[in-house]
Amino acid sequence: MSSEVKRVLFLVGSPKAPGKSVSEALGVYVIDKMKALGWSSETIFIRTTLQSDKGRTALLEAVEDTDLIILSFPLYVDSLPAPVIRAMELISERHSEKNTRFAAISNCGFPEAQHNNVALAICRCFALASGLEWAGGLALGMGGAVSGQRLKDGGGRSRNIVKSLDLTADAFVKNKTVPDDAIRLMAKPLIPKRMYTTMGNIGWQQQAKRYGVRKKLRDRPYQR
Amino acid sequence: MKALLLNGVGKDTRHLDRIGELIVQELRSLQWEVEGLVLRDIEIAPCMGCFGCWVQTPGGCVIDDNAREVTRKMIQSDLVLYFTPITFGGYSSELKKALDRSISLVSPFFTRINGEVHHQKRYAYAPKLLGVGILHQPYEESERIFKALISRNAINLQNPAHAARVVYEDQTEAEIQGAIRATLDELGVRP
């Protein structure tokens, strides 16, 4: 690395469009904080970048040219979304010798953050297999209750998330791993569990109503 | 009894297909009707995380591609096998692309299982689940993660029984067959 300015690469693991995902909002908060502390950044949306040879090459070059990688993703079937795993497979083929650091933020729609544990263990395993230095992971539950705007405003039910991300960004610029306090704060329920599941169950019905399928929510099209 | 083997071996590790063939042979010797799907040869778009399969076209993905048929075959089987090179402890991207698109098999509504929140069943029944992961050599951490992942999947899909087995590339056919046989016993799928 010729420049004195430290670089952070933000990998967005959500397949959603820019500006639409909790994964992106969580990572952007950390990246913005690190930029304010003098770091430069690059952001790559994994799903779209894997669609072309040019994108795949750009991904691998960006991984080579950074000091820290932060991956933020939604939990998919207890693990990472398929395109994120594909990106990991590609990155791992080029085993790095640079001790670039790698951290992950996993979020899920279940109320308990512990659902993310296996996915974060996979992230750690990936780092070890790829010559990257594991810088730790954060797990968030109740992702359905997080709003990107609230994170920016730093208040309301997102306050523990904001505190956690502040601690994490501070640790990263000091070359440290994700602090235990940040992990604990991120895992705290945003609202009572029963309230979350009740709101969630109502929310599914409201969304289905918009498509005129509220009464079909329990359909079994593949019943044998 | 119908079994579906989802083969998640990638194009660069096709030599591992032979292990999948051993599993198929073993099941057929037990009178199972087995279908194998080589996922690397099946075009499946990534899940977009839209939840359309829950709230727009309940029970089926809004994307009209091969994932719909794979998902249908999964729920209409008595046993589903996840066959995959263990990839950082988890599944290969080839296997995962199909699994990501199968969440329509559960309902969006929440329920509690052992004090933890999960999704309700959509179908009254679910297949048994067997995960067979391949490693170059024994690697305790990867194996622990793989087994934990199968267990977590089995909770979420509410499979009536599940098992995970790790086999190694350098094992002989007899050793692999023995391991698979023992796992099928564990799963209770031998007559």
Distance CA A97, CA A124 (A): 17
Q: Do B93 and A85 touch (CB under 8 A)?
A: yes
Q: How far is A38 from chain B (nearest CA, A)?
A: 33
Distance CA B181, CA B32 (A): 13
Closest of B19, B74, B28 to residue B191, by C-alpha: B28
Closest of A61, A58, A56, A59 to residue A71, by C-alpha: A59
Q: Do B89 and A125 touch (CB under 8 A)?
A: yes
Q: Do A211 and B56 touch (CB under 8 A)?
A: yes
Which helix (H) or strand (E) segment holds residue A137: the answer is: strand A133-140
Q: Is the pLDDT of residue A84 over 50?
A: yes
Q: Do B110 and A224 touch (CB under 8 A)?
A: no
If you average pLDDT over residues A155-164, what whole number do you get?
Answer: 89
Of A14, A79, A210, the CB nearest to B149: A79
pLDDT of residue A1: 47
For chain A, first and last CA: distance in Å? Answer: 59
Residue of B87, B99, B107, B159 to mutate when probing chain A, most A C-beta within 10 A: B87
Of A81, A211, A222, the CB nearest to B76: A222
Q: How far is A118 from chain B (nearest CA, A)?
A: 6
Both structure tokens of B136 = 């170059």
Contact A190, A146 (CB under 8 A): yes
Architecture of domain A7-191: 3-Layer(aba) Sandwich (3.40)
Q: Is the pLDDT of residue A161 over 50?
A: yes
DSSP 8-state assignment for residue B158: T
pLDDT tens digits, one per residue of B60-91? 999 999 999 999 999 999 999 999 999 999 99
pLDDT of residue A98: 83
DSSP 8-state assignment for residue A79: B
Residue of B93, B114, B149, B152 to mutate when probing chain A, most A C-beta within 10 A: B93
B96 interaction partners in chain A (CB closer than 8 Å):
76-77, 79-82, 85
Of A111, A193, A217, the CB nearest to B58: A217
Distance, C-alpha B87 to centroid of its chain: 14
Q: How far is A191 from chain B (nearest CA, A)?
A: 14
pLDDT of residue A57: 97
Query: Is the C-alpha dihedral spanning B58, B64, B67, B69 positive or negative?
Result: positive
Q: How far is B95 from chain A (nearest CA, A)?
A: 8
Buried b (16+ CB within 10 A) or exposed e, B168-189: eeeeeeeebbebbeebbeebeb
Residue of A59, A85, A102, A215 to mutate when probing chain B, most B C-beta within 10 A: A85
Both structure tokens of A78 = 């207890």
pLDDT of residue B183: 95
Query: Which residue is listed with tokens 């094992």?
Result: B171
Of B48, B57, B71, the CB nearest to A222: B71
Report percent pLDDT > 70 for chain A: 97
Average pLDDT value over all residues in chain B: 96
Q: How far is A222 from chain B (nearest CA, A)?
A: 5
pLDDT tens digits, one per residue of B130-189? 999 999 999 999 999 999 999 999 999 999 999 999 999 999 999 999 999 999 999 988
Contact A108, A118 (CB under 8 A): no
A88 interaction partners in chain B (CB closer than 8 Å):
87-88
- To 10 degrees, what angle do helices A180-187 and A159-173 make? 160
Map out the domains of chain B with their CATH numbers. Answer: 2-187 (3.40.50.360)
Report percent pLDDT > 90 for chain B: 98
Both structure tokens of A17 = 């469009």
Distance CA B61, CA B45 (A): 11
Residue in A closest to B53 by C-alpha:
A217
Q: Could you tell me if the ipTM is greater than 0.95?
A: yes
Neighbours of A63 (CB within 10 A): 22
Residue of B12, B63, B92, B96 to mutate when probing chain A, most A C-beta within 10 A: B96
Q: Does B80 reach chain A within 8 Å, measured CB to CB?
A: no
If you average pLDDT over residues A209-223, what whole number do you get?
Answer: 97
If you average pLDDT over residues A180-206, what whole number do you get?
Answer: 96
A204 interaction partners in chain B (CB closer than 8 Å):
54-55, 108-109
Contact B127, B114 (CB under 8 A): no
pLDDT band of residue A94 (cuts 50, 70, 90) is confident
The residue type at B65:
D
pLDDT of residue A3: 54
The residue type at A192:
P
Domain boundaries, chain A: 7-191, 192-224
Of B76, B109, B122, the CB nearest to A204: B109
The pTM (predicted TM-score) of the whole model is: 0.97
If you average pLDDT over residues A167-190, what whole number do you get?
Answer: 97
pLDDT of residue A2: 46
- CB contact residues (below 8 A), chain B span 147-166, against chain A: 148-149, 152-153, 156
Both structure tokens of A47 = 């799903």
Residue in A closest to B54 by C-alpha:
A217
